[in-house]
Structure 1
Amino acid sequence: MPYAFAESPFSPRFATLPPRFFAHVPPTPLTTPQLVVWNSALARDLDLHPDAQAHAGIDDYLGGNRILENSLPLASVYCGHQFGVYVSQLGDGRAILIAELPDAHGQTQEIQLKGAGPTPWSRHADGRAVLRSSIREYLCSEAMHGLGIPTTRALALVASPTPVWRETRETAAVVTRVAPTFVRFGHFEYYSHHDEHEHLRTLTDWTIQHFYPECATAPSPALALLEAVIARTARMVAQWQAVGFCHGVMNTDNMSILGLTLDYGPFGFMDGFNARHICNHSDESGRYAYNQQPQVALWNLNALAQALLPLMDREAAIAALHGFQALFEEAFASQFQAKLGLTSWQDEDWTLLTDLLNLMHASRTDWTTFWRDLASVHDGRPLTTPLRDRFVDRDTFDAWLVTYQTRAGAQTGINPEDVATGMRAANPLYVLRNHLAETAIRMAQQGDFAEVKRLLDCLAQPFNERPEYASYAEPAPDWAADLSVSCSS
């Protein structure tokens, strides 16, 4: 039987680590917290009652005004490299872990409140999150889940009139985040760089025990852990690239040890394709541009490997890192094989793909609509705008299309309509474009969360065409070019 949120919370396993790893800190109450969005599907997966009304006091529990019985809320300490610069102490500055719950798949999930007030690691900040950024995190984590990309999840959004000052006066909100663990690369860096090697070993053993048990029997468990994280991270970033997702702030403290997309700040899904697209207004050097994400992932994995060196052989760690490129290319090829409707990936397909990306970059062709509509080549479905008209150099695109059709047509025994169906299952119709999020945010700031909920419903099934959401599949309007996001949240 589904149960109410206040019933039987598990004490987080993270609390079994030594006191050096965290501090017990209660959430700071909000003024009149109000539950404005509730994820019924995720609640059901956690064996919680899907109806928010069945959870007495839910606004207060998830707003930080009441603490679950037997819960000892905690915030953890870590460090990291931010924009390539080492920062010796960071930590959960506004995120507080309050419980764990088992999910329907037999995995335990941590329940964390983001924006729940200051902790010992808030660095003189208020520990709050604003409504604007909280909506973006909620929407994007669920959008990524709908796309099948590993991610943290969002169970609930609580809003409050409590004022929060950023560039201007805004209001506070708390996102209830869910993940098997929120441990990041920065946790390992912290104990390594502070020469606390016993704590480093404790954290490594704890991570392996709970999340990578297959590494425990390896000759070098720490090396096996590194290799597993490299593989997961390579696959995750390949999936990002395939849907045109830019994380925006790939610091090592924002990299999940589980290969999950973590910490949605200044993210963005590309509209017109720009290989050098920078979604974060604060990223003046373009360190985290779209085409830099694979290399930055490797840089961050190198930082993790450096942190783990007290527990493993240096040459073995270097060899593991050298494996990243092949793993990424394999995952990347797999993604684009499906997007192109190919049954296998051949060496010449790299040229086919590169030529297309160069054409798209030169014309700033809309990423999502082009890939979705490419399927029409196989089943003749009529398009609002012909494919060739999305390119400045139409003749060169026409030549590319002939090459592509020849390549695809060489696949024997494949029904063209089945190819088109498979391509539409690999190329989403709906993604969380910036202007869609912005429209929902502006309405929510006026107290209307209907658009947030509509978007969530649409993005839960991003590959399925639904007439009621036709406008969400359209390219961005002109005014969207003026939108910018930054690290301010």
Structure 2
Amino acid sequence: MQLQASRFESLGDAFHTRLPPTPLPSPHWVGWSAEAAALLGLAPELPQDEALLQRLSGNQVPDELLPLASVYSGHQFGHWAGQLGDGRALLLGDRVGPQGRHEVQLKGAGRTPYSRGGDGRAVLRSSIREFLCSEAMHALGIPTTRALCVTGSPAPVRRETVETAAVVTRVAPSFIRFGHFEHFSHGGRHAELRRLADFVIDHFYPDCRAADGNPYAALLAAVTRRSAELVAQWQAVGFCHGVLNTDNMSILGLTLDYGPFQFLDGFDPGHVCNHSDQTGRYAYSRQPNIVYWNLFCLGQALLPLLDDTQQALDALEPYKTLFPTALQRRMNDKLGLAELREGDDLLTEDLLQLLGRERVDYTIFWRRLSLAQAASADYAGRAELSDPSRTAQPPGPAWQPVRDLFLQPDGFDGWWTRWQQRLATDADADADSSADPAGRLGQVDQVGSRMLRANPRVVLRNHLGEVAIRQAQAGDLGALQRLQAALARPYDEIPGSEDLAGFPPDWAATISISCSS
């Protein structure tokens, strides 16, 4: 795999340290992403290439491309942490593929000047989780860094227990974080701050240069838009990041750094997936506000480049409307609603309260709702539902699997009637029922199909990852490969994969995910 010198290197020595990786003893292939390989213009098949295995394990580095670790700072759990940096990640270089230029980075490749006493390694457990989730998020259509592969080693690594080492090869157009800007701003190094901002604008946000007014304010506004869209997608699919520090926020609006993440099982707005998060700062329901808080920190970091504080506040202000609008648009997709209308937010909020009261499984509810709607399209928009005072049990056996998710289904029944009435307004808008009843039914029939494309059947639940990890640790990669294949097609009904789309077992509640990796 031929690489070019990274563009990030051109920023200068103040931004990084060059050093070789620490060799990984006796490496072997653990996982390979065909889609990420195609992104880089590589063959999709797992390579039978010993030289590439050694290189992606940090054992062979061309003299002309000595890797680098970047320096950044950040706020961690709401407190200024000072200098951080790539403590175990090394940027190998850039690769130009069919979809543009991407950085290739090894995570777990050994100690760097920014390791802060750590060993610079990653363990097989966390590497598999990041590998699977990076590619799963991409398949869900959520912006993310990618993972080309995982290589493993029998080398011991001590965390809570002794585990084995691994390296995950990560891919992204850039790994620049909010924390990079904070590092130079808090240090009073405004020349480097400007150089960094110019680099990001020139390579990733060129429209900001042409915008009226201050280009750095335009950059902050653009990052605000992308971040609002990103967290809306997280919330819609039930994804908890777990450690939304400013140094884990991508300047490109990508999901970055898969540590103690989790997809919700039973719906709980207050769910905290990170065992290390003692105060619940990064609970699922708090993610939108935390992202705004992080953007505020980015705005503070950019102040030396702005005309005044108000310019930063003006760039951040749209988040307050961008996020709820983006989230409602995603929720309307999940509900099969064609467009945003007044009252849709209340319909959604009432449903989420129903799910939260009984901790209904989030993914299974939405999938069953989609399947029922697809199987019962002829009921949607029926004339008898036009009476808003009427509350009916959902008709037909297709709806029973949805009602079975509730101990007290009457609340769902009432909500279902309101939802069907709302669907009927979409059908009425698309086709006059008296002039073209077939057209109206055709529009209604599309609702279920639209919902099935918005509500995944399979997500990377903790217990699914845990099974794949345990078997991989025992030398069996079959479960990992099977799960990876299903996650690559999250909206498809794949025969023989019912266990991957079912309820979590009781022991799943005992899985503890922390910042240790």
**Band the TM-score falls in, shorter-chain normalisation:** over 0.9
Aligned residue among 113, 118, 125 for 2:118: 125
Decide whether the 8 Å contact of 1:30 with 1:65 is kept in 2: yes
Does 2:60 correspond to 1:66?
yes
The aligned counterpart of 1:170 is 163
Task: Give the number of the structure whose alpha-carbon radius of gyration is greater.
Answer: 2
The aligned counterpart of 2:503 is 475
Does 2:239 correspond to 1:245?
yes
The aligned counterpart of 1:157 is 150
The offset of 1:409, in angstroms, is: 1.8
Equivalent residues in 2 for 1:51-450 (5 A)?
51-53=45-47, 55-68=49-62, 70-105=64-99, 107-218=100-211, 219-312=213-306, 313-380=308-375, 386-412=401-427, 413=431, 414=440, 415=442, 416-450=444-478
Aligned residue among 485, 488, 493 for 1:465: 493
Q: State the one-letter code of the partner of 1:187.
A: H
Instruction: Name the SS for the 1:88 alignment partner.
Output: strand
Decide whether the 8 Å contact of 2:33 with 2:135 is kept in 1: no
Q: State the one-letter code of the partner of 2:22.
A: T
Decide whether the 8 Å contact of 2:150 with 2:167 is kept in 1: yes
The aligned counterpart of 2:14 is 20
Deviations 1:246-275 (A, max 9, x none): 000000000000000000000000010001
Deviations 1:378-407 (A, max 9, x none): 333665962222123321211111111111
Over 3 Å counting, the alpha-carbon distance change for 1:278 and 1:383 in structure 2 is farther
Decide whether the 8 Å contact of 2:145 with 2:172 is kept in 1: yes
The offset of 1:317, in angstroms, is: 0.8
Deviations 1:220-244 (A, max 9, x none): 1111110000000000000000000
Deviations 1:268-326 (A, max 9, x none): 00010001111101111110000000000000000000000000121011112111011
Deviations 1:316-363 (A, max 9, x none): 111121110111011101101100001111121111111100010001
The offset of 1:468, in angstroms, is: 2.1
Decide whether the 8 Å contact of 1:150 with 1:236 is kept in 2: yes
Q: Using the TM superposition, name which of 375-384 and 9-18 deviates more.
A: 375-384
Over 3 Å counting, the alpha-carbon distance change for 1:385 and 1:64 in structure 2 is farther
Q: State the one-letter code of the partner of 1:365.
A: V
The offset of 1:215, in angstroms, is: 0.8
For the residues of structure 2 that align with 1:411 and 1:50, how far apart are their CA atoms? Answer: 43
Does 2:44 correspond to 1:50?
yes
Q: State the one-letter code of the partner of 2:448.
A: A
Decide whether the 8 Å contact of 1:245 with 1:290 is kept in 2: yes
The offset of 1:430, in angstroms, is: 0.6
The aligned counterpart of 1:37 is 31
Q: State the one-letter code of the partner of 1:171.
A: T
The aligned counterpart of 2:392 is none
For the residues of structure 2 that align with 1:485 and 1:286, how far apart are their CA atoms? Answer: 14
The offset of 1:424, in angstroms, is: 0.3
Instruction: Name the SS for the 2:343 alignment partner.
Output: helix
Deviations 1:168-202 (A, max 9, x none): 11100000000000000000000000000000000
Q: State the one-letter code of the partner of 2:475.
A: G
Decide whether the 8 Å contact of 1:61 with 1:68 is kept in 2: no
Decide whether the 8 Å contact of 1:373 with 1:383 is kept in 2: no
The aligned counterpart of 2:436 is none
Instruction: Name the SS for the 1:96 alignment partner.
Output: strand
Alignment gaps of 5+ in structure 1: none
Instruction: Name the SS for the 1:347 alignment partner.
Output: coil
Q: TM-score, normalised by structure 1?
A: 0.96
Alignment gaps of 5+ in structure 2: 377-396, 432-439
For the residues of structure 2 that align with 1:270 and 1:360, how far apart are their CA atoms? Answer: 12
The offset of 1:59, in angstroms, is: 1.6
The offset of 1:156, in angstroms, is: 0.8
For the residues of structure 2 that align with 1:124 and 1:375, how far apart are their CA atoms? Answer: 50
Q: State the one-letter code of the partner of 1:469.
A: S
Deviations 1:125-181 (A, max 9, x none): 100000000000001011100000000000010000111001111100000000000
The offset of 1:108, in angstroms, is: 0.6
Number of equivalences: 482
RMSD: 1.3
